[in-house]
Amino acid sequence: MTAVKPAAAYLLLEDGTLFKGIPFGYRGSSTGEVVFNTGMTGYQEVLTDPSYAGQIVTMTYPLIGNYGINAADAESTKPQVRGYIVREACARPSNYRSEKTLDHYLAQHGIPGLAGIDTRSLTRRIREHGTLRGVIHNGPSRAGLADSAPWEGEALANLRVGGRTSLEAIFAHMDEASYIQWIEYLTAIRHLPVAGPHLVNSVTTPQAYVIPGDGCRVAVLDFGIKENILRMLKALDCHLMVFPANTTAEAIRAANPDGLFLSNGPGDPKDVAPAIKTIADFLRPASPAHSLPIFGICLGHQLLALAAGADTYKLKFGHRGANHPVKDLRTGRVFITSQNHGYAIDEKTLPAGLTVSHRNGNDDTVEGLRHERLPIYSVQYHPEAAPGPHDSAYLFDEFIDNMKERLAKASA
């Protein structure tokens, strides 16, 4: 009996480079910005990280899918990538936690995959020429491939909030049964109390969801937040109030938070103008005593800089992986960090009062900011990991300490 060869799949880059490989996942076409990730594990967390919205991700580690897919390791409700490229996609995973194969998972969510290409060659091309847009085409031939590759730019502001268009939209169109199902997802995947989050609706407070806790009250601006950030804040007993990206400063203050958290998310930070305005309002308190502790991660770090008057720029090929060295300039200690971003802060534009606290060991870019007088700081990398090392989890503890100090001063 003659073996049936799988249909061909193609990747066409905007510079005309064509790769031919083997299709897996969804049999169809998809366009996006082609980037690479250097992580050896954590492919499911990469797939479901909302910061990858609009992108086709290439894994430099050659063997992907070996331990399958499970519900507990997801960083959002669904995979966020536009396409997925690997050297070898494992068809028979071996792990007691595995629930489905990578192929099944991507097919289930309409995401085309490409395997069997020289991922080293693709990665070198991106490193040499910079990030390129591309199209994955899974079909019997490459005919019509170029026609399915519109190269116009795309703002990702509307892909924020964990891959949801916005919290307003998800709640406005959600019937009671769907809402109950969503709550069940949150309580199961985020390992939250059975009581779960509940909606907050009032004249002064926009729709948000609340994850109850007995500790500090944290207003979370959600630009595409990873689940593990919420898990870590919840583990510190925070009372979390998660707001849409376009929430005003007045609405956040009306919720009476003890601190403000700025999440990660996809795309160019300059596309998130409403958030920049909101953050800027908190950077100008009536007095230091009225200052709200602020902690930003990744996109939140960039937005904090923009709100303070600094500028950002696009990196040639970004930082994506779980092995990036970052130096804490206060202590001289070097941490191995998890990263996923394509933009950085222009250090020359930083205003007075905002100093660099961390620096990238590979290219010297800004990896952390700290306000000289106020309890405000941010980092470009992901201290919550998922995937990656947890070396920098102390940053969450510092955020809690800042909020408790503020509460102590207020009650004195």
Told to judge if 298 belongs to the known catalytic residues of this protein, a careful annotator would answer yes
Beta strands in 258-310, from DSSP E residues, in sequence order: 259-262, 294-297
Structure tokens belonging to residue 274: 């409403």
CB atoms < 10 A from the CB of 61, how many? Answer: 17
Output the domain CATH number for residue 101. 3.50.30.20
Query: What is the C-alpha to C-alpha distance for residues 75 and 229, in angstroms, rounded to an integer?
Result: 9
Is 4 inside any structural domain? no
Whether residue 313 is annotated as binding a ligand: the answer is: no
Residues 349-372 have pLDDT tens digits of: 999 999 999 999 999 999 999 999
Residue 143 has pLDDT above 50, yes or no: yes
Structural domain total, the chain: 2
Is 308 inside any structural domain? yes
CB atoms < 10 A from the CB of 376, how many? Answer: 25
State the average pLDDT for the chain.
85
CB atoms < 10 A from the CB of 91, how many? Answer: 11
**Top-confidence residue, 138 or 39:** 39
Of residues 137, 239, 301, 382, which has the active-site annotation?
382
Is 373 inside any structural domain? yes
Whether residue 354 is annotated as binding a ligand: the answer is: no
Q: Burial of 355 by CB count in 10 Å (0-12 exposed, 13-18 middle, 19+ buried)? A: middle
Same domain, 208 and 71: no
Same domain, 119 and 190: no
Alpha helices (runs of H) in 190-245, residue ranges in sequence order: 227-235
Short-list 297, 377, 397, 295, CA closest to 337: 297
Mean pLDDT value across residues 269-279: 94
Query: What is the C-alpha to C-alpha distance for residues 412 and 409, in angstroms, rounded to an integer?
Result: 5
Whether residue 377 is annotated as binding a ligand: the answer is: no
Is 169 inside any structural domain? yes
Same domain, 140 and 165: no
**Band of the pLDDT at 411, cuts 50, 70, 90?**
confident
Residues 174-224 have pLDDT tens digits of: 444 544 454 444 444 433 333 333 333 333 344 567 888 999 999 999 998
Structure tokens belonging to residue 187: 């309580």
Same domain, 281 and 373: yes
Is 114 inside any structural domain? yes
Which of 100, 116, 151 terminates a domain? The answer is 151
pLDDT at 110: 95
Is 2 inside any structural domain? no
Structure tokens belonging to residue 231: 């898990």
Same domain, 224 and 129: no
Rounded to 10 degrees, what is the CA torsion of 71, 75, 80, 86? -70
pLDDT at 77: 85
Of residues 45, 227, 367, 384, which has the active-site annotation?
384
Whether residue 302 is annotated as binding a ligand: the answer is: yes
**Pairing status of strand 334-346 against strand 311-328:** antiparallel
Which of 151, 174, 197 terminates a domain? The answer is 151
Same domain, 318 and 388: yes
Same domain, 200 and 123: no
Residues in Cβ contact with 332 at an 8 Å cutoff, skipping those fewer than 6 apart? none
**Band of the pLDDT at 16, cuts 50, 70, 90?**
confident
Short-list 396, 366, 385, CA closest to 322: 385
Whether residue 185 is annotated as binding a ligand: the answer is: no
Same domain, 315 and 401: yes
Told to judge if 250 belongs to the known catalytic residues of this protein, a careful annotator would answer no
What is the three-class DSSP state of 281? helix
Of residues 298, 319, 341, 367, which has the active-site annotation?
298
Query: What is the C-alpha to C-alpha distance for residues 396 and 34, in angstroms, rounded to an integer?
Result: 32
Same domain, 143 and 193: no
Output the domain CATH number for residue 187. 3.40.50.880
Query: What is the C-alpha to C-alpha distance for residues 357 and 339, in angstroms, rounded to an integer?
Result: 17
Residues 306-336 have pLDDT tens digits of: 999 999 999 999 999 999 999 999 999 999 9
pTM: predicted TM-score of the whole model, two decimal places: 0.86
pLDDT at 128: 95
Which of 96, 121, 151 terminates a domain? The answer is 151
Whether residue 224 is annotated as binding a ligand: the answer is: no
Is 1 inside any structural domain? no
Residues 82-123 have pLDDT tens digits of: 999 999 999 999 999 999 999 999 999 999 999 999 999 999
**Band of the pLDDT at 289, cuts 50, 70, 90?**
low
Same domain, 123 and 203: no
**Top-confidence residue, 288 or 162:** 288
Same domain, 141 and 184: no
Is 337 inside any structural domain? yes
Comparing 132-141, 187-196, 378-387, the range with the smallest average pLDDT is 187-196
16 lies in which domain range?
9-151
Same domain, 180 and 137: no
pLDDT at 300: 97
